[in-house]
């Protein structure tokens, strides 16, 4: 029996994974309290008018490849989660200096046809993964060490994904353009492209482009957090905002305590109360490079030379495989690339309510060394101008967030690391600690549910969903049904 004023579960942190853990517990009939330091829930899923009045920017995440068709979001009732998803005609485009681009749309065949002589190789590589997206996502978005529900598909993905993006691109593709497209997808790993496992990121991003189209939420990313919070409250869960917690003992008693925090902040919150070996392992957790992000208020759409870029929600800017690989390598060496690989989004092309009539918003970021305070806006804008001459003349206002200032806005972004930890092979296998029970640590009631736990970064809610299911099974012996 719970003590008066206690809860079945408390979630510390209201990012998308914390909210996912809370929703999963509440749907199982458990009492839930969510405690958040900010004045509103959402973590890295929020929107604001950060440049000029009337221009709505996604403060952090803007494109959501993993928010559709995955077990957590796919299991939410439409009545309880009324977010309208917009799917751009093109998920991602990769322009080149000759004025052309390669693009991935929902159609695998059309995307492959544009690759010319590399089209068949691309279809052979990606076809089974895109065609069985829900099955693949259900297994990939689990701890890597688990019994897969679709073993043949999962094993095939692991065998192909274990390679480096560089090895896979050079082995399979004959043209520089196809290799460059694969490099841009692999760079989402935020690792040097010759690192093992980077092919998995490229494969997964490509498969999701065909399966989900990389959708955006109408009205901005903040609508996702608002909908999750409203759904929670409809199930009588409590959400306390603007409440900083420096010691978990200041919280009411709960059967299980979820930390939507990185290992660094878990250590700060628990002090020396964790067992020594857990403190050592959490203290050794490695963070990856940061990002420098720019938001723009624009006087018109970005004037891309390649027509395909004008239909894309996301545009990868980096030119050739060699350029992208050099940029990502230099970041890992602690340097700021002169021509960075840039990920650019343009949501107002498809959601015109984000800006005043005839005007637009866009954002872009590049990878930088962890903790960097260097303003990369000029280099980022030079990359956009390279493929969209006249772009800089459209800028009405800009907001720049360096890696260091990102951490100031959201402490979970340690050093500006948007992945909540380096995506090295070791940390993909053992994240955040070496354990067969990756969500449990320290005392039996503690669970980590942030992106520092499996399956890692991305707005998919699966870290929180998996952690909550783990707690329900271990503490309440409730076996959650598979979705």
Tokens 């458990």, located at residue? 30
Q: What is the pLDDT of residue 384?
A: 98
C-alpha 217/C-alpha 102 separation (Å) is 25
223: number of Cβ within 10 Å: 18
Q: What is the pLDDT of residue 483?
A: 45
Q: What is the pLDDT of residue 67?
A: 86
Higher pLDDT, 458 or 69: 458
Computed over every residue of the chain, the mean pLDDT equals 95
Q: Do residues 430 and 106 touch, judged by C-beta distance below 8 A?
A: no
How far apart are the two ends of the chain, measured CA to CA in Å?
A: 30
Q: Is the pLDDT of residue 279 over 60?
A: yes
Instruction: List, as one string, the DSSP characters of 162-185.
Output: TS-HHHHHHHH--SHHHHHHHHHH
Q: What is the pLDDT of residues 92-129, one digit of tens each?
A: 999 999 999 999 999 999 999 999 999 999 999 998 89
- Please list the residues that pair with 360 across neighbouring strands: 298
310 pLDDT band (50/70/90 cuts)? very high
Q: What is the pLDDT of residue 436?
A: 84
Q: What is the pLDDT of residues 461-472, one digit of tens each?
A: 999 999 999 999
Mean pLDDT score, 248-265: 96
C-alpha 419/C-alpha 412 separation (Å) is 10
C-alpha 193/C-alpha 6 separation (Å) is 49
Q: Element (H or E) spanning 266, and its range? A: helix 263-270
Q: What is the pTM of this model?
A: 0.95
Among 477, 476, 475, 464, smallest CA distance to 70 is for 464
> Among 231-235, 270-274, 407-411, 451-455, whose mean pLDDT is lowest?
270-274
Token couple for 158: 């692991």
Strand bridging mode 32-35 / 7-12 = parallel
C-alpha 139/C-alpha 141 separation (Å) is 6
pLDDT > 90: percent of the chain: 89
- How many residues in the chain? 483
68 pLDDT band (50/70/90 cuts)? confident
Q: What is the pLDDT of residue 1?
A: 40
Q: What is the pLDDT of residue 478?
A: 83
2 pLDDT band (50/70/90 cuts)? very low
Instruction: List, as one string, the DSSP characters of 299-332.
Output: SS----SSGGGGGEEEEEE--SHHHHHHHHHHHH
Counting Cβ atoms within 10 Å, is residue 435 exposed (0-12), middle (13-18) or buried (19+)? middle
Among 399, 214, 220, 164, smallest CA distance to 315 is for 214
Give the phi and the psi of residue 101 in degrees, each rounded to 5: -150, 160
Q: What is the pLDDT of residue 69?
A: 75
Tokens 């008693």, located at residue? 253
C-alpha 283/C-alpha 277 separation (Å) is 10
Q: Do residues 8 and 255 touch, judged by C-beta distance below 8 A?
A: yes
Helices (H), 11-64: 16-27
235: number of Cβ within 10 Å: 16
Using the CB atoms, write b or e for 13-29: b if 16+ within 10 Å. bbbbbbbbbbbbbbbbe
Q: What is the pLDDT of residue 428?
A: 87
Mean pLDDT score, 160-179: 97
Q: Is the pLDDT of residue 390 over 50?
A: yes
Token couple for 223: 């609508």
481 pLDDT band (50/70/90 cuts)? low
Mean pLDDT score, 401-413: 96
Q: Is the pLDDT of residue 232 over 50?
A: yes
Token couple for 246: 């420096």
Helix (H, G, I), strand (E, B) or coil at 84: coil
């Amino acid at each position: 029996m719970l003590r008066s004023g206690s809860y079945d579960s408390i979630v510390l942190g209201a990012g998308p994974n914390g909210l996912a853990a809370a929703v999963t517990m509440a749907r199982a009939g458990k009492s839930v309290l969510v405690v958040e330091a900010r004045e509103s829930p959402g973590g890295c899923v929020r929107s604001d008018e950060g440049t000029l009045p009337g221009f709505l920017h996604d403060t952090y995440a803007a494109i959501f490849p993993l928010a559709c068709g995955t077990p957590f979001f796919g299991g939410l009732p439409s009545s309880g989660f009324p977010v309208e998803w917009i799917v751009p005609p093109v998920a991602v485009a990769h322009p080149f200096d000759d004025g052309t681009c390669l693009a991935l749309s929902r159609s695998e065949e059309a995307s492959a046809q544009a690759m010319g002589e590399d089209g068949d190789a691309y279809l052979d590589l990606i076809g089974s993964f895109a065609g069985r997206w829900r099955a693949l996502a259900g297994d990939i978005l689990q701890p890597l060490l688990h019994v897969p529900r679709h073993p043949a598909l999962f094993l095939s993905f692991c065998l192909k994904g274990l390679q480096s993006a560089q090895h896979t691109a050079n082995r399979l593709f004959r043209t520089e353009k196809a290799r460059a497209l694969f490099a841009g997808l692999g760079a989402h790993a935020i690792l040097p492209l010759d690192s093992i496992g980077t092919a998995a990121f490229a494969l997964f991003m490509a498969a999701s482009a065909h399966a989900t189209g990389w959708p955006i939420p109408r009205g901005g990313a903040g609508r996702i957090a608002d909908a999750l919070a409203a759904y929670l409250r409809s199930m009588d869960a409590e959400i306390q905002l603007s409440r900083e917690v420096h010691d978990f003992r200041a919280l009411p008693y709960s059967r299980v305590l979820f930390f939507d925090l990185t290992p660094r902040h878990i250590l700060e919150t628990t002090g020396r109360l964790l067992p020594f070996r857990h403190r050592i392992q959490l203290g050794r957790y490695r963070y990856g490079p940061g990002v420098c992000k720019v938001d723009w208020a624009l006087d018109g759409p970005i004037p891309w030379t390649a027509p395909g870029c004008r239909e894309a929600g996301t545009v990868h800017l980096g030119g050739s495989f060699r350029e992208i690989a050099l940029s990502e390598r230099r970041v890992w060496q602690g340097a700021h690339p002169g021509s960075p690989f840039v990920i650019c989004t343009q949501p107002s092309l498809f959601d015109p309510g984000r800006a005043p009539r005839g005007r637009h918003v866009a954002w872009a970021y590049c990878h930088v060394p962890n903790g960097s305070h260097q303003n990369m806006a000029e280099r980022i804008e030079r990359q956009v101008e390279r493929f969209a001459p006249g772009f800089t003349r459209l800028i009405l206002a800009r907001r720049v967030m360096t890696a260091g200032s990102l951490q100031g806005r959201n402490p979970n972004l340690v050093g500006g690391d948007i992945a909540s930890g380096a995506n090295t092979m070791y940390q993909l296998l053992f994240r955040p600690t070496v354990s067969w029970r990756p969500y449990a640590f320290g005392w039996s009631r503690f669970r980590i549910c942030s992106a520092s736990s499996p399956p890692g970064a991305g707005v998919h809610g699966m870290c929180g969903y998996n952690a909550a299911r783990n707690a329900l099974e271990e503490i309440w012996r409730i076996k959650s049904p598979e979705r």
